[in-house]
Structure formats: structure tokens, C-alpha cells
Structure 1
């Protein structure tokens, strides 16, 4: 599985992983509005055993399959961003 990683130019150290390149329609509108503009930074293969700097590969893969995106917040954020209700039925 591949992920396409985008950096928020509005929120420091905040990244969005997408299952499809430039598939911003997968992001809930309230979230997209908070993060845009987004800049492409990385195309990464999420294979089992792969290490990411601050994310668990399996969690990222699961979120990409279930939601089509994964949100990475800056270190020290106490809230799991994937548990929030972004106005979707997912």
C-alpha cells in the first residue's frame, strides 16, 4: 500500500496521509478548511515492518482503508485525531 503525504502550510507539524494522490475529497470539509493549503511532501510504501518517524504503520494503513486518510498532529498532542467526529458517517 502506498500513501501520499501532504504537509499543512497553515498548521505546523501537521500532515495528512492519503490513499490516493491529491484525493482531498476524502477529507471532511471542516478538517480540510483548517489545514489548507496542503503541499505534497512524500510518497511512501506502507509495507509491514516499515518504520515511520512518528506514526505506527499499521494504524496509518487501517485509517487509509477505513477513511481514505490519516491525520498526523504535532508531537505532544494528547487527543487522538482519528477519534474526532469530522462530520462524516465513517
Structure 2
């Protein structure tokens, strides 16, 4: 099944992103999360389906979060992930 998803970047935390169904916007995101997230900046709209690959997160996880919560929060990478990312560039 295809989903039209809008992705927002956090104004408070680098590399934190919020995925929502484009049709619903941010209405399903809890107020407390929005306060911590800061001013959302729309960065991309895309058609998301199970076969699509994403850079840092599993498509299945995003789709599950959208179905369960109405949104998916992608957290910034951990120190270990950053080290692996740097190691793969060499």
C-alpha cells in the first residue's frame, strides 16, 4: 500500500525528523512532542511503499509508526552510528 508522506525537520535537534501522512498533517502528533520538536520545517513529500529504501530508517518501521500512532519520529543518530557512518566513508 502506498502512503503520501510529508517529512519535517526539527528546529531544535539536528537530524531529527517527523514523518506524517500528508493528508493528516501534524494533527495526530501529541502537543508535548511538538514542543520538544520545535518549529517543524517541511523538507520533503514522498510516496512511501514497503519496497522503497530510506537512508537511515527502515521503511517498515515508518509505516508501522504511521499506522499505529499517526506519525513516526526519526531520532538523531547515536555516537556509534556516527562512527560507523564515518568509517564507511574511508
Global fold match (TM > 0.5):
yes
Name whichever structure is richer in helix by fraction. Answer: 2
Q: CA deviation at 1:68?
A: 0.7
Q: Name structure 2 gaps, 5 residues minimum.
A: 81-90
TM-score norm. by structure 1 comes to 0.78
Aligned CA distance change for structure 1 residues 46 and 77 (closer, same or farther; 3 Å):
farther
1:73 paired with 2:75, answer yes
Structure of higher CA gyration radius: 2
TM-score norm. by structure 2 comes to 0.78
- State the alpha-carbon separation in 1 of the partners of residues 28 and 79 from structure 2: 23
Give matches, 1:1-90, under 5 Å: 1-21=3-23, 23-76=25-78
Q: Name structure 1 gaps, 5 residues minimum.
A: 79-90
Q: Which runs of 4+ in 1 moved over 3 A?
A: none
